[in-house]
């Protein structure tokens, strides 16, 4: 009887750990995918002239700062981000996304 209970608890523990790991990987995958999407938006803005070189440079600097911070946080945490850090990165990406949109739709164009 004790063996059955221990086996059930062991399986439950492994399942829970795998689920948490998968959820963490999924969130970090979202960060990466979002970064790639924003890079595509920037490239389109440069291509169609809606982003000036100065605007592009500022947006790229902001993206670079976020990327550097993520690398540093992962280094400090054994390759992972904490939930608090993921939320912070999400807020930062929201700001950059808004900046991309604002700059693409202002009246400044590449000459």
**Rounded Cα–Cα distance for residues 48 and 106 (Å):** 13
Instruction: Say if residue 3 is exposed, middle or buried (CB neighbours under 10 Å; 0-12, 13-18, 19+).
Output: exposed
What does the pLDDT read at residue 83? Answer: 94
Domain range annotation of the chain: 30-104
Percentage of residues in the chain having pLDDT higher than 90: 66
Residue 52 belongs to what H/E stretch?
none
Of 84, 92, 87, 45, give the one whose Cα is nearest residue 67. 92
CA distances from 29 to 45, 92, 102 (A): 24, 16, 26
**pLDDT per residue as tens digits for the range 13-31:** 555 544 444 444 556 788 8
What does the pLDDT read at residue 98? Answer: 96
**pLDDT per residue as tens digits for the range 27-58:** 678 889 999 999 999 999 999 999 999 999 99
> Average pLDDT for residues 54-83, to the nearest whole number?
94
């Amino acid at each position: 009887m004790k063996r059955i209970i221990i086996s059930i608890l062991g399986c439950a523990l492994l399942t829970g750990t795998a689920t948490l790991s998968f959820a963490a990987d999924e969130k970090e995958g979202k960060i990466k995918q979002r970064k790639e999407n924003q890079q595509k938006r920037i490239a389109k803005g440069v291509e169609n002239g809606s982003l000036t070189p100065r605007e592009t440079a500022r947006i790229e600097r902001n993206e670079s700062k976020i990327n550097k911070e993520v690398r540093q946080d992962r280094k400090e945490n054994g390759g992972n981000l904490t939930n608090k850090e993921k939320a912070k990165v999400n807020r930062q990406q929201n700001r950059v996304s808004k900046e991309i949109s604002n700059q693409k739709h202002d009246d400044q164009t590449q000459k």
